[in-house]
Structure formats: structure tokens, C-alpha cells
Amino acid sequence: MQLHRSTIADHNESLLKDHQRRIQYLRSEVPRVDEVLPLLTDLQVAIPSWALGTGGTRFGRFSGGGEPRSLEEKIEDVGLLHALNQSSGSISLHIPWDVPQHHAAIRTLAAQHGLLFDAMNSNTFQDHPGQAYSYKFGSLHHVDKAVRKQAVEHNIEVIRQGVELGSKALSIWLSDGSNFPGQLNFRKAFQNTLESLQEIYAALPADWKLWLEYKAFEPNFYSGTVADWGQSLLFVNKLGPKAFTLVDLGHHLPNANIEQIVSLLLMEGRLGGFHFNDSKYGDDDLTTGSIRPYQLFLIFNELVEGMDARHMSHSRDMGWMIDASHNVKDPLEDLLQSVEAIKLAYAQALLVDRKALQEAQAQNDVARAQEILQASFRTDLRPLLAEARLQAGAALDPLQLFRQLHVRNSLIKERGNTAVATGL
């Protein structure tokens, strides 16, 4: 489904008067708002190819219909999101859930939608059809060298595919771990993983990055071989300057102080990117900002502070990606909501009075420090995001336009009701 510029222009025209009233009020309240507009426009959030269909649980999956049946259709869906918000300018693929075949044609299609290829995700947490060895007892950490070799080769193949598509990063998440005490020798598991990662790292092109994601538990429930940021940091420090830790917001033990983790990883120059989602219990993969928006803001507060301290480009020097999966919402509506929540937290963080905060910190003025942060968090910056979209040629209200156009119904007509989103 193609979205014409004139459709967006008509939609914007119909909402313009109300929008102008809101943005004028915001400008009168927060004089700096216009300064951050270019930064907001520049921040693009990658969409994972596996989030375009309705997610499921191990108990069932309830498809809303019209899901993309091929990589081409996934690209079209992300293109639609990007046309609506001008903030979702890339797609992240998962191999072998995605099977890119005609790379040049896929690349051209993506470019037609204004999209780039974000990080490539390898997958050694499932057995692939026809592979020689099983990953039942892990992949890069496996006791058997032959299994490790197979997993290393898969990762190198994913890099190869990514090079064809113009991607610049390999994202590795390992489910490797153990379910029972005694199952693993932790040190040997670590050393095997390190050796495997070194082989993968050696195959990285010069301008590529390797992001190593950690996860506290699931599918293993006793130990994880890359279970937390400390373990990931140990690996990436040993690998070299192209290796970084990736933070998935749902991969921590309950109540972890993620913003502090972010701050210290940044300080060490080892924070590579994010998988955004939200959670109440574990790796719930709920819509970003739907459960703990204040935490999201505090994370962005550290990001802005830490990246500025290191003179990093907010838009270019970090991998911004969503990793979510939804059982009850329209996946495209949900992704629009997640992108909006991410940019809202970013805008709030950009508008923190940093000088005043530093002064309050230097004077141990705890109450003032809290007031400064919360003043930003509690300012309604939604009109600012809308203004950024208006200036970028996107829709003032992407979700409303998505509904007005009955996009889901058109997709169901085109693709049918029972299509599945992933290759598995």
C-alpha cells in the first residue's frame, strides 16, 4: 500500500489549526523547544522485521491478518511507517527468519521507501532446517567444537548477507546458558564463547560493528553465558574496538537501574545500541513507554548527557532499534506508538536544564535535582514531536491517519487473513 504525499498534506491541513495553537503555547512556555527540532528530526528508530506480524506466546498466536508474507512486504510495511512518521528509516533483519535472495533488488526496494538496513541479527537459538548439529545445549559456548564452528559460520554468513544489503552491524543474542546447577562449567562456557566470538569478530568488515546483547534469563533459567552487562562488557573489551554491548530494556532482573548501566557503558565507550520495549515482569516486549515512561526518560537523560560528554552524534553513533512483539495490538499501530514514546523521551531529555542540574548536584541539592528532571518529564512535548513531523513531511497524527485510511483492512484484502510474518 502506497501513501501519497497529498494524503499526508490533506491530513495535516485538517489538523493544522489545532496544532498551531498547541505549539504556540509550548513555545511560550519553553523557549528552547525550537533548538531541539533538528535533533528530533535526525533520530531514526530501526524497525525489526519480526515485529510486523502479531507476536504470540507459547500458548497461542492470534493474527490480526494482513501480515507481510515476504521480505518485500516487510519492507513495504516499514516504508509505510516511515511515510507516516519520517522516523523509522531503517529495517533490521533476522536470519533465517528473513531470507534475502536478490540482494540488489531488495536494496533498491528499500531505497525506494527511503530505508536503510540496520543491524543484522543472527539466530543460533533455534535449529535451522537441514543443519548438521543441534543448538539444544547452546551454540557459541557449546562443549562440542563442531557445534561452535557451525554457529560461527552462521554468523559469518549473516555478515556476508548484511554486506550485500549495506548494513554496518552484526547483532548477536545468545540463548546459551544452563537450566540446572552442574550442567555447565561457567569458565569453560565463557572461554568457548570468547573463542567463537573472536572468530566472528575476525570476519567483520573494517567499517562494521558487533553488538553483543545480554539477557538475564529465558530460555535458560539457571545461568546465561551472556546474562548481564558485566559479562557482555567482559567479552566486548576482550574482542576489540569494533565490539559493543547492546542493551535490551527487557533483559534485566526486576528493578535493575538501567539508566546507571547506560551511563557507565557510555563512559567506557562500549555502549553500541538499544532494543527498546517495555516490561512489567521479564522480557515482556511490550510497547516502549507503555509501562515505565519515567524510566525511559531517565535512560535518555543519561544518553544525552553521556553522549554529549563524549562528543558523539546522537543519531549516528548509537544503534536505535525497537525489539517488541505484540499479541493483541495491530503491530503497525504499536510500532508507531513505540517510535513516538522513544522520541518523546529523547525530546524531554534534550530539554533538561543541564547546567542547573549540574549545579544542584554539586551542591547536593537533592530536591532541586529531582525538580529539574521532573519539570522536563512532565512538560507535554507532544506538539513538538508533531511539529518535527510536520516539518519533515510526515503526518501530524500518524496513528489517526493510519486508522482513517483503514490501512489494516487494505492489507488484509491484499494479503489475506492468515499470513504469517516470519519464516519459521
| Position 275 contacts Mn ion (CB under 5 A) | yes
For residue 179, give the DSSP letter. S
Task: Supply 241's cell numbers.
Answer: 574496538
| Residue 131 CB partners (closer than 8 Å, separation 6+) | 150
| Residue 333 CB partners (closer than 8 Å, separation 6+) | 399, 402, 403
Minimum CB separation of residue 364 from Mn ion in Å reads: 38
Q: What is the dihedral of CA 12, 350, 317, 226, to 10 degrees?
A: -110
Mapping DSSP onto H, E and C, the string for 329-375 reads CCHHHHHHHHHHHHHHHHHHHHCCCHHHHHHHHHCCCHHHHHHHHHH
Nearest to Mn ion of 48, 100 (CB atom) = 48
| C-alpha angle 208-261-268 in degrees, rounded to nearest 5 | 50
Answer for which of 98, 248, 278, 305 binds Mn ion (CB under 5 A) is 248
| Position 148 contacts Mn ion (CB under 5 A) | no
Minimum CB separation of residue 283 from ligand PSV in Å reads: 5
Q: Give the Cα separation of 284 and 276 in Å (integer).
A: 11
Minimum CB separation of residue 237 from Mn ion in Å reads: 21
Minimum CB separation of residue 291 from Mn ion in Å reads: 15
* Binds 121: which of ligand PSV, Mn ion, none (CB < 5-8 Å by kind): ligand PSV
Nearest to ligand PSV of 289, 319 (CB atom) = 319
Q: How many residues bind Mn ion (CB under 5 A)?
A: 4
Minimum CB separation of residue 173 from Mn ion in Å reads: 6
**Residues engaged in binding ligand PSV (CB under 6 A):** 50, 121, 173, 213, 215, 248, 275, 283, 323
Of residues 15 through 34, those in contact with Mn ion by CB under 5 A are none
Distances (CA, A) of 251 to 63, 104, 214, 284, 288: 26, 35, 7, 9, 14
* Binds 276: which of ligand PSV, Mn ion, none (CB < 5-8 Å by kind): none
Nearest to ligand PSV of 173, 320 (CB atom) = 173
Minimum CB separation of residue 246 from ligand PSV in Å reads: 8
Backbone phi, psi, residue 151, to 5°: -70, -40
Nearest to Mn ion of 26, 172 (CB atom) = 172
User: What's the burial of 241, exposed, middle or buried (CB within 10 Å: 0-12/13-18/19+)?
Assistant: exposed
Position with the least CB separation from ligand PSV: 173
How many other CB atoms sit within 10 Å of the CB of residue 252? 21
* Binds 50: which of Mn ion, ligand PSV, none (CB < 5-8 Å by kind): ligand PSV
Nearest to ligand PSV of 113, 275 (CB atom) = 275
Nearest to ligand PSV of 48, 66 (CB atom) = 48
* Binds 330: which of Mn ion, ligand PSV, none (CB < 5-8 Å by kind): none
Q: Give the Cα separation of 41 and 89 in Å (integer).
A: 11
Nearest to 343 by CA among 335, 355, 354, 331: 335
| Position 283 contacts Mn ion (CB under 5 A) | yes
Answer for which of 98, 323, 333, 340 binds Mn ion (CB under 5 A) is 323
Nearest to ligand PSV of 281, 367 (CB atom) = 281
Minimum CB separation of residue 189 from ligand PSV in Å reads: 18
Task: Supply 115's cell numbers.
Answer: 530505508
Minimum CB separation of residue 324 from Mn ion in Å reads: 9
Q: Which residues bind Mn ion (CB under 5 A)?
A: 248, 275, 283, 323
